[in-house]
Amino acid sequence: MARLWRGFMKSCQKELAVLLAESHALYFDEGLTLKDGRPTPYFVNFGLFRTGRLISELGRIMADFLMDTKTVSDFDVLVGPSYKGSALAVAAAEALWRIHQVDKSFDYDRKETKSHGEGSHKGALFVTGALFDGARVLIIDDVATTMSTKFDILGQLTAEASKNGHSYYPAGVALFLDREQTTAVYDRDKEPQPGVKGQDAVKNFKVKTGLEVQTILGINETVDFLHSEKVPVLQKGHMSPLSDATVAEFKRYVELYGI
């Protein structure tokens, strides 16, 4: 399985790029900071896919991706890390059935273990109860930045399997967007060192877990496509086609921190 679809952009990749712009999920501004403390000229927030149409379109795009790459035959349960991954797992499972008549289960984790109701006896870490002994699990999420959320959900799946006396088999990770950048490098005061590249986050994840990571879009091809097609994107609070200045700043950032 490839990290990205290579070659020309497929229709659903172009649709995803346009949706990222239309929903304001992809935006450019000054003073933005990543979770790891580094500055960034752009941000991606899948939480802004907050209407029925937008989340339905995301589900359709992921369903088409899973069918096209034949990943759909590799898993039994879609698991989306809370919170954003939860909605994405539901949307993808619904679209797989509605469009392709492929019925897959879905689940997502809790932020706190449930100890009442159906979780009274064992304390449920996951919500729907779709996980079963021997289940093949595909993790689905929005963005690859540091991959820390993906490491976390693997740990939760291991804990849940151990608690229930089950075995779960991770089938890999499917993501909508790869920021295609390296991890932060910190100094002795735990401050990120500016301009210093760490590891390729996705490659590091693959090496440590042995799992494949598939991504529908990379940020570089996304920006190139939106720029060439003059698609309006939110820049400093205003919607307009990506300016040459915005793209130049993006390219400098990629040169600084990209893989």
In the residue annotation, 116 being an active-site residue is answered as yes
Q: Pick the catalytic residue from 10, 100, 114, 203.
A: 114
**238-241 and 26-33 as β-strands: parallel, antiparallel, unpaired?**
unpaired
CA distance 80 to 91: 10
CA distance 185 to 10: 35
- CA proximity to 140, closest of 69, 200, 227, 198: 69
Terminal-residue alpha carbon distance, the chain = 19
CA distance 48 to 179: 18
CA distance 84 to 61: 16
Whether the CB-CB separation of 90 and 107 falls below 8 Å is answered with: no
Whether the CB-CB separation of 149 and 109 falls below 8 Å is answered with: no
CA distance 184 to 179: 13
Q: Pick the catalytic residue from 70, 111, 116, 238.
A: 116
In the residue annotation, 114 being an active-site residue is answered as yes
Q: Which residues pair with 227 in a beta bridge?
A: none
CA distance 203 to 185: 16
Distance of CA 84 to the CA centre of its chain: 9
Side chain identity, residue 242: L
> How many H-runs (helices) and E-runs (strands) does the chain carry?
7, 10
Annotated catalytic residues are 114, 116
